[in-house]
């Protein structure tokens, strides 16, 4: 089973028995958007993992956040300015306060992360700003320290808010592989919009919570392991009492 934008829209109206005079397309679109965002926040999925490559700027200790990034999973810097076949080093993620203390030790009492400090091969990074823009932006990004002394290549591994279901994007990973959870999340939004009946809101909220736990078992369970290295998953089945 899977949904398209059209079939999910119809199903929401069928389940709630509300026609398009109340559940206009704009209202339905809002349900879908909120449901997708909820799922993406509660369960980071492999389908949302992306990698962005770039080049550090010598004497510049900031990197723009990738477009649409929800969160950064890792930053790798290569000891090369030509290609990523060089040796990659993973930067340690720290808080801004750690980098402030680090640069204080190197440059004095100012503690201004945007100021130039001792240069070298980067070792640490910290997040600043929202870092969730829809385009690469300086309104949010990463501080790195020490400030690069050359134009090293880097990779940022991150999870991204992907394009949602819409009239111009009729299927998504969620609509194909987690259709029941997407539907239940939309119905919870719909009955919240209708302000009841509360038993229906509770029903679909509970159905959503159960389905996302099952989906999480695959996304962060089975998809992150294999039988050779981790062993076959075994579930204890209790025998009936004699």
Structural domain contains residue 77: yes
Looking at the fold, whether 207 and 181 belong to one and the same domain comes out as yes
Segment 42-75, tens digit of pLDDT:
998 888 999 999 999 998 888 888 888 888 999 9
Distance of alpha carbon 165 from alpha carbon 30, whole angstroms: 11
Mean per-residue pLDDT of the chain: 85
Q: What angle do CA 18, 20, 23 make, to 5 degrees?
A: 65
Name the residue range of residue 85's domain: 57-151
Q: What are 58's two structure tokens?
A: 């010598």
Structural domain contains residue 41: yes
Segment 145-160, tens digit of pLDDT:
998 999 999 999 999 8
Distances (CA, A) of 238 to 88, 143, 176, 214, 235: 48, 53, 33, 20, 10
Of the three residues 151, 176, 193, the one that is the final residue of a domain is: 151
Structural domain contains residue 68: yes
Looking at the fold, whether 125 and 190 belong to one and the same domain comes out as no
**76 close to 154: Cβ distance less than 8 angstroms:** yes
Looking at the fold, whether 143 and 62 belong to one and the same domain comes out as yes
Looking at the fold, whether 119 and 186 belong to one and the same domain comes out as no
Structural domain contains residue 38: yes
Q: Going by C-beta distance under 8 Å and a sequence separation of 6 or more, which residues neighbour residue 29?
A: 166
- Whether the pLDDT of residue 28 is over 90: the answer is yes
Looking at the fold, whether 110 and 190 belong to one and the same domain comes out as no
Q: Where would I find the H helices in the chain?
A: 5-16, 25-42, 96-107, 173-177, 179-194, 198-219, 227-230
Q: How many domains does the chain have?
A: 2
Taking the model in full, what pTM does it have?
A: 0.78
Looking at the fold, whether 173 and 201 belong to one and the same domain comes out as yes
Structural domain contains residue 157: no
The single residue listed with the structure tokens 């950064």 is 72
Looking at the fold, whether 73 and 118 belong to one and the same domain comes out as yes
Q: What is the pLDDT of residue 108?
A: 45
């Amino acid at each position: 089973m899977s949904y398209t934008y059209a079939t999910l829209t119809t199903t929401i109206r069928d389940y709630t028995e509300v026609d398009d005079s109340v559940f206009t397309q704009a209202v339905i679109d809002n349900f879908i958007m909120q449901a997708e965002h909820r799922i993406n926040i509660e369960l980071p999925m492999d389908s949302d993992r992306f990698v962005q490559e770039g080049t550090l700027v010598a004497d510049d200790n900031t990197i723009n956040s990738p477009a649409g990034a929800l969160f950064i999973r890792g930053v790798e810097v290569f000891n090369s300015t030509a290609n990523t076949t060089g040796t990659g080093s993973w930067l340690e993620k720290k808080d801004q306060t750690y980098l402030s203390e680090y640069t204080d030790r190197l440059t004095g009492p100012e503690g201004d992360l945007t100021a130039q400090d001792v240069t070298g091969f980067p070792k640490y990074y910290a997040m600043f700003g929202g870092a969730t823009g829809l385009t690469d932006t300086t309104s949010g990004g990463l501080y790195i320290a020490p400030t690069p002394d050359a134009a090293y290549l880097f990779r940022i591994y991150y999870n991204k808010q992907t394009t949602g279901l819409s009239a111009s994007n009729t299927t998504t990973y969620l609509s194909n592989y987690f259709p029941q959870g997407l539907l239940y999340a939309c119905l919870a939004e719909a009955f919240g919009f209708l302000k009841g009946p509360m038993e229906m809101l509770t029903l679909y909220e509970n159905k959503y919570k159960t389905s996302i736990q099952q989906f999480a078992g695959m996304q962060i369970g089975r998809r992150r392991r294999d039988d050779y290295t981790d062993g076959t998953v075994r579930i204890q089945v209790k025998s009936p009492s004699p």
